Amino acid sequence: MSTVTASSRKEHRITATSLAARKRRGQPITMLTAYDFTFARIFDAAEIDLLLVGDSLGNVVQGVDTTLPVTMDEVVYHTRMVVRGTHRALVVADMPFGSYQVSAEDGVRNAIRLVKEGGAAAVKLEGGTKVAHTIEAIVNAEIPVMGHVGLTPQAVNRMGGFRVQGRGEEGRLRVLDDARAVQEAGAFAVVLEGIPADLAKEVTAELMIPTIGIGAGVDCDGQVLVMHDLLGLNDWSPSFAKQYANMGAIASTAARAFADEVTHRKFPDAEHSYK
Ligand code: KIV
């Protein structure tokens, strides 16, 4: 009889170091956001490779307009739940706004919290050349880092809105420089968000590390979606986000049916009552 132990299960976990080989083999990488145990368990069983505890939790869990108010304590809290739901997926915790912008030292301290208190196996932070020294410092603290360039939501006020980046010669060069800086600093992968598909293709061809696209076309090494967009749980989704299910409508129908049965004293019936 074979015994599955925690350590034997861990052998099948996706690791940050294994992703470069995936890129070389041309095997696409899948990533979804997750914020709690239940969905982490479902996505892990569906063999999604990476689960990102995104600071998008501000938008889709907390109902605020930007990711800026999200705190370290909140990301730690959600990361713990997601880690508990996974056996296979690599869990990446997003570094929220304010947790790494002041200094590299701050970045290292907060990245350590996400690993030590949250249980994350890697962290993600936004920016390129400006944060390269911070990425390097976190990698030197033995924590794998995923970069994030192009449309970086934490820079919404500088960008003047959630605008596609990398348009025009100057914009293209900025994204290319940022992606190169992230790789040079030691990141194991980089998210390319909201950039023209041909630019994402060029970045992907040039970098050795995998690129994970969101609103960046089909030629990235992998793709990520926010789970609420995937499942149709939002009122509104960006045009690049494909909805694979309409769970919002299913939940609404279920809630209405429940309310109707309670109103008409049909629930609970004998089957759902104790004798
Ligand atoms: O916070 C998030 O969900 C993200 C993804 C959009 C990549 O950063």
Alpha-carbon radius of gyration of the chain: 20
Residues of the chain with pLDDT > 90, as a percent, come to: 95
Cβ atoms within 10 Å of 256's Cβ, excluding its own: 10
C-alpha 250, offset from chain centre: 25
The mean pLDDT value for 125-132 works out to 98
Pick the CATH number of 6-244 from 3.90.1260.10, 2.30.42.10, 3.20.20.60, 1.10.3430.10: 3.20.20.60
- In 3D, which of 69, 177, 179, 79 has the Cα closest to residue 121? 79
Which residue type does 117 have? E
Q: Which atom of ligand 1 is nearest to the CA of 31?
A: 7
Model confidence at 1: pLDDT above 50: no
Interval between CA 183 and ligand 1 midpoint (Å): 19
- In 3D, which of 261, 220, 219, 223 has the Cα closest to residue 241? 223
The mean pLDDT value for 103-111 works out to 98
Interval between CA 251 and ligand 1 midpoint (Å): 24
All structural domains of the chain with their residue ranges: 6-244, 246-275
Tens digits of residue pLDDT in 11-46: 589 999 999 999 999 999 999 999 999 999 999 999
Residues near 51 by beta carbon (within 8 Å), at least 6 away in sequence:
31, 32, 33, 34, 40, 43, 44, 82, 86, 89, 90, 91, 92
Mean pLDDT of the chain: 96
What predicted TM-score, i.e. pTM, was given to this entire model? 0.95
Report pLDDT for 4.
46
Residue 87 three-state SS: coil
Interval between CA 273 and ligand 1 midpoint (Å): 44
Tokens standing for residue 48? 């999604």
CA distance 27 to 39: 24
Which residue type does 252 have? S
Of all protein residues, whose CA lies closest to atom 8 belonging to ligand 1? 54
Cβ atoms within 10 Å of 23's Cβ, excluding its own: 19
- In 3D, which of 143, 153, 184 has the Cα closest to residue 33? 153
Q: Is any ligand 1 atom within 6 A of the Cβ of residue 81? A: no
Report pLDDT for 12.
86
Report pLDDT for 78.
98
- In 3D, which of 201, 208, 178 has the Cα closest to residue 23? 208
CA distance 70 to 54: 10
Q: Is any ligand 1 atom within 6 A of the Cβ of residue 226? A: yes
Q: Where are the beta strands (DSSP E) in 104-251?
A: 122-124, 145-150, 189-193, 211-214, 222-225
Report pLDDT for 11.
54
Report pLDDT for 2.
46
Q: Is the peptide bond before 28 cis (omega within 30 degrees of 0)?
A: no
CA distance 177 to 163: 19
